[in-house]
Structure 1
Amino acid sequence: MVDLDGGNKGDGPRLLRTSDLAAAGWRARDLRAAVAQGRLTRVRQGAFCAPDADAECVAAGATRARLACVSELQRRGVFVLSHADRHVHVDPEAARLRTSPMNGRVHRERLVREPHPRSLSVEPIDAVRQAVLCQPPRATIATIDSALHLGVLPADDLEELFGALPRRFRRLRRLLDGRAESGPETLMRLILRSLGCGFEVQVVIVGVGRVDFVVDGWLIIECDSEAHHSSWPEQKRDRRRDQHAAVLGYATYRPIAEDIMWHAGEVRAAIAGLLASRHR
């Protein structure tokens, strides 16, 4: 019996060859019917996968490639700063892609870990390694933090990861912190480091709850995203938390994730202004 999940629940979708299905008793008309009924997805001639396979993986497989780099990390829920283009990987010895991906990038380097021969995506350690090379340093740190936090990249793999990267990237390792629960939190941590101020992360304040940062013992910084702070009930909850924090002597600053990611200079200036006002 052929497993149609093909690893889709964990490692990613895998190809099912016509020969595999034929060996399991599938006839040509069974394949046509399964595709027509949505019980099987045709990836390319002679290759299929489970119907719930990620569309980006299927698109990569259609060109005889694997989903890679920031595209594969996004599929796994890992933070990447920009993922508009599809990144795929092909073996260095492989023939040219039948069809070049639109608005994408093709990686042709040797992998650290060979994926399953029929996998439609690279292994996480290789996706992270590729993302390090494709992103600016601050985004790289946020991506690795996210991968560590989610367990996509085990901490034990860090030595192997940095050993496979050019030496210039090794200085980034001391800036990692897997406690960050989102990419904007990592980026905010880097902003605070650049200001040279003292800060604590993931602080629990009695009566307020856990906050993202406490700077110099009095300024709370919360990294707000649309996903968790968009509804009015959520906004009311946040404002009441801020109000109670004010009773305890804290001020609160809530930059939105979009500004932290794309307008870091403005966010940095705002924090610097707040810290300067305290001294005045």
Structure 2
Amino acid sequence: MASRYDPRSEGGPVHADFLTRAELIADGMSRHSVEEAVRSGELIRARRDRYVTPDAPEPIVQAVRVGGQLTCLSLLELHGVYVLKNTRLHVHMKANASRMRSPDSRWVRLADRSTRAPVLHWTPRALRVGQEMCAPLTVALAHSVLCQGPRAAVASIDSALHRGIVDGADIAEVFSLLPQKFAVLRPLIDSSAESGPETFMRLILRSLGCGFEAQVVIGGVGRVDFLVDGWLVVECDSRAHHSEWAAQVKDRERDLALAALGYARIRPTAAMITETPGRVAAAVVGMLKRRR
């Protein structure tokens, strides 16, 4: 059975279509062999007349089972795009969609009152939803702006741009799909951010009105995340990159090198930056006031 789940490249756009019984028969299968393929696990019957190959990621299968396409935060996570927090399946639905099913069983009707129920994103009839199991990335990014706070939305778009899976023309399309009030976010986008917390930190510094540069190379030290007022270094730490003792020793060596050159440094964690931005902002303000 040929796969219909076809990532263009690692982290790249996902192309995935479901198959219908008519397509399977046209490819040379009989009705009996279709049923046998389902029983053996060579095919997954996600819902009536919707067949999926077993290499498709589970969120995609669940979206088809509901009756739509994977979109928004769920699809972005599949692409490795930064998402602040997501605990639910996001599904793109046609305006006239009906007979929706639970993501876990095609025999169970969708219960929309559960806190774990999928988030349904309804589309106008004019926007075609065909056999593709995933919404276009531009649509998913537009949905993510509606589903997240402004800083998290900017961080997701930054991440998609940084990973190279969308470009400037795509971002223009994203904002064309959104209500006009979201246009204020567009000037805040910067593809140089290497992580979601870096986007959050950039927006914090921007809100303070202080002068800063991102991704600055300092001789004898290397590249730092932010340099504020020419002397205050801000590094955005994450557990993934700084949990090992060897990494922490390297960080301390960098701190000593910075101090020897006359730089001060603060190193808030990713959780501090995203969950308590006011506290991080106060730390920056306090440092700047002290120096001045």
- Secondary structure of 1:81's partner? coil
Q: Which runs of 5+ in 1 are unaligned?
A: none
Q: Which residue of the other structure, out of 234, 237, 240, is the alignment partner of 1:221?
A: 234
Q: Which residue of the other structure, out of 156, 162, 167, is the alignment partner of 1:149?
A: 162
Letter in 1 for 2:50: A
Q: Which residue of the other structure, out of 130, 135, 151, is the alignment partner of 2:143?
A: 130
Q: Which residue of the other structure, out of 94, 97, 106, is the alignment partner of 1:94?
A: 97
1:200-230 alpha-carbon deviations (Å, 9 max, x no partner): 0011112211111011111111111112111
- Secondary structure of 2:97's partner? coil
2:3 alignment partner in structure 1: 4
Q: Which runs of 5+ in 2 are unaligned?
A: 102-108
Distance 1:59 1:197 in 2: 46
Q: Which residue of the other structure, out of 275, 280, 283, is the alignment partner of 1:262?
A: 275
Deviation at 1:246, TM superposition (A): 1.4
1:139 alignment partner in structure 2: 152
Q: Which residue of the other structure, out of 87, 92, 103, is the alignment partner of 2:117?
A: 103
- Secondary structure of 1:16's partner? coil
Letter in 2 for 1:199: F
1:248 matched to 2:261? The reply is: yes
Distance 1:226 1:52 in 2: 31
Deviation at 1:53, TM superposition (A): 1.0
Distance 1:243 1:27 in 2: 71
Aligned residues: 277
Letter in 2 for 1:25: G
1:25-61 alpha-carbon deviations (Å, 9 max, x no partner): 2344544554455443332233222222111111111
- Secondary structure of 2:178's partner? coil
- Secondary structure of 1:7's partner? strand
Distance 1:112 1:269 in 2: 48
For normalisation by structure 2, the TM-score amounts to 0.87
Cα distance, 1:254–1:16 mapped onto 2, change above 3 Å: same
| Contact kept? 2:73, 2:144, Cα under 8 Å | yes
Letter in 1 for 2:16: P
- Secondary structure of 1:267's partner? helix
1:97-134 alpha-carbon deviations (Å, 9 max, x no partner): 2332643211112389646x211111000011111122
Distance 2:125 2:191 in 1: 24
Cα distance, 1:8–1:47 mapped onto 2, change above 3 Å: farther
| Contact kept? 1:60, 1:66, Cα under 8 Å | yes
2:289 alignment partner in structure 1: 276
Cα distance, 1:27–1:188 mapped onto 2, change above 3 Å: same
Distance 1:105 1:91 in 2: 14
Cα distance, 1:26–1:258 mapped onto 2, change above 3 Å: same
* 1:182-261 → structure 2 map (5 Å cutoff): 182-261=195-274
- Secondary structure of 1:20's partner? helix
Percent identity, please. Answer: 44
| Contact kept? 1:114, 1:123, Cα under 8 Å | no
| Contact kept? 2:72, 2:143, Cα under 8 Å | yes
Letter in 1 for 2:124: R
Deviation at 1:263, TM superposition (A): 1.1
Distance 1:54 1:46 in 2: 19
1:49-92 alpha-carbon deviations (Å, 9 max, x no partner): 22221111111111111111111111111112221121111100
